[in-house]
Structure 1
Amino acid sequence: MSLQDKLDAFKADFKGGKPPYYAPPEIHPIMERATAELIASGQAARTIKAGDRAPAFTLKDQDGKEISSVRLLERGPLVITFYRGVWCPYCNIELQAMNDALAQIEGFGASVVAISPQTAVNSRKSVRDNKLHFPVLSDANGDVGAAFGLRFALPDYLIALYKTLQNDLPAFNADPSWTLPMPARFVIGQDGVVLYSEVNPDYTHRPDPADMLPVLERAAAKV
């Protein structure tokens, strides 16, 4: 089953209130409105794209260790997945799919990191709950996400809904701004240039890890 098939199955269960999932039916139009508005804003078209130079960064992983993109690129290509946080089930399904593909990715000499605005405590929970074997980095205040063009502010009506659902982003992220990154995945070549970019303002849609394997294969062949 592809990653998107798994996401679609989860979405159907979530919207249908199938156990163990339940959400009041009135919340779905609100979340769908926010997604539609983010799509209509055109922000996804203004993000870092293939052929652009990727912003360099140094962030702390779930254990407080500093991870430098420059250092990782000295070893080989770098795969980055930006996600919203451990509270997002769609993100967790994607992280599990990335973990399943890790051996293939590393077989091309590449490294993988995941980046979210959440605190280290929540990053550790991401690693633990999803049994991840790659670092989860904390992007304090979403600055790296902003450098990639991914950070956006939640509209007031969505903030109100999140508060009702006790989805306290300021607590998750230690940041009062109520901002998130659009989910995205990048492959960066050793020269710092982006080889693959996939950004979707609809958080229920994610590219399959297999989609980037030909890019990694070509990058490995050039070494």
Structure 2
Amino acid sequence: MGDQRRPLRPGELAPAFALPAANLEGMVSLDSLRGRPFLIGFYRGLHCPFCRRQVLQLAGVQPALHAAGVETVAVINTPLDNARLYFRHRPTPVTLLCDPECVTHRAFGVPRGEFLPDGSLEQPEWPYQASMAEFVASRINPTGELPEPLQPLEALAALNTKDGFELEEADKAIVANHGTQLVGHFLVDAAGVVGWVQIEAPDGPNSLSIFPNAAEIIAAAGSLGC
């Protein structure tokens, strides 16, 4: 399973993968899912409150997708033990897979950004290369929970405080190693062919953590004939 420089597009085959499940026994793989369509979302670690909220939203849309014959899968960039502990107290019908190294994120081509060094003459190429000034100047409030839009790191901290979520050492390691990982959603048909793609923040950091809502996901599944 190699790195994919750009996100997979509709009509392309999903790459093979096998990941441990946090709320099931054993591994879940592309082969085990083959034969029925599935929605797969690739998220940052549990340190990201927006990703935690999106997994909760997926739980709400899962019954409608299940009725349409679509499986719902979330890949979390966190160690298996951490995910099991967190979701033991927050059970969900979504199949939760753990990928602490973002191997499958990269195989599906979900972008991961890098910051250009200060004084670099290179032109930023969002989302793969960004200037620190552009990121610092951005403001987000995608869920409307904040009193005003905040710089992304401030928004993360504010919502983690609201949730009472404290980062453990494993979370801090994920932030250090994969802090610029973006989020992506893919609908894959029964034959393993990608039919719909949504990648976070296509227009720049001001659209970080804006994810598809339930209506958009159900509409996408319907457009595939699911």
Which one of 32, 54, 72 corresponds to residue 112 of structure 1?
A: 72
Quickly say closer, same or farther: Cα 1:140–1:90, change in 2 above 3 A: closer
Please report how far the alpha carbon of residue 175 of structure 1 lies from its aligned counterpart in structure 2 after TM superposition: 6.4
2:96 matches 1:96:
no
- Larger helix percent: 1
Q: Tell me what 2:217 maps to.
A: 212
CA separation in 2, counterparts of 1:90 and 1:211? Answer: 17
Q: Tell me what 2:148 maps to.
A: none
CA separation in 1, counterparts of 2:85 and 2:173? Answer: 15
Contact 2:40–2:186, Cα closer than 8 Å, also in 1: yes
CA separation in 1, counterparts of 2:175 and 2:209? Answer: 25
CA separation in 1, counterparts of 2:81 and 2:109? Answer: 25
> Secondary structure of 1:59's partner?
strand
Amino acid at match of 2:193: V
Post-superposition Cα deviations, 1:67-101, rounded to whole Å, max 9, x if no partner, equal: 01221122x10110111121111111111111011
Please report how far the alpha carbon of residue 173 of structure 1 lies from its aligned counterpart in structure 2 after TM superposition: 8.1
2:170 matches 1:171:
yes
Q: Tell me what 2:107 maps to.
A: 147
Q: Tell me what 1:73 maps to.
A: 34
Please report how far the alpha carbon of residue 127 of structure 1 lies from its aligned counterpart in structure 2 after TM superposition: 2.4
Contact 2:58–2:94, Cα closer than 8 Å, also in 1: no
Counting aligned pairs with the same residue, the percent is 22
CA separation in 2, counterparts of 1:174 and 1:141? Answer: 11
Q: Which runs of 5+ in 1 are unaligned?
A: 1-44
Q: How does 1:16-31 map to 2 (within 5 A)?
A: none
Amino acid at match of 1:211: E
Contact 2:45–2:174, Cα closer than 8 Å, also in 1: no
TM-score, normalised with respect to structure 2: 0.64
Runs of 4 or more, structure 1, over 6 Å off, are 173-177
Q: CA RMSD in A?
A: 3.0
Quickly say closer, same or farther: Cα 1:54–1:125, change in 2 above 3 A: same
> Secondary structure of 1:101's partner?
helix
> Secondary structure of 1:104's partner?
helix
Contact 1:53–1:193, Cα closer than 8 Å, also in 2: yes
Contact 1:86–1:125, Cα closer than 8 Å, also in 2: no
Contact 2:75–2:96, Cα closer than 8 Å, also in 1: yes
> Secondary structure of 2:112's partner?
strand
Q: Tell me what 1:61 maps to.
A: 21
Q: Tell me what 1:6 maps to.
A: none
Q: How does 1:155-194 map to 2 (within 5 A)?
A: 155=115, 171-172=170-171, 178-180=177-179, 181-194=181-194
Contact 1:119–1:138, Cα closer than 8 Å, also in 2: yes
CA separation in 2, counterparts of 1:189 and 1:154? Answer: 32
Contact 2:13–2:192, Cα closer than 8 Å, also in 1: yes
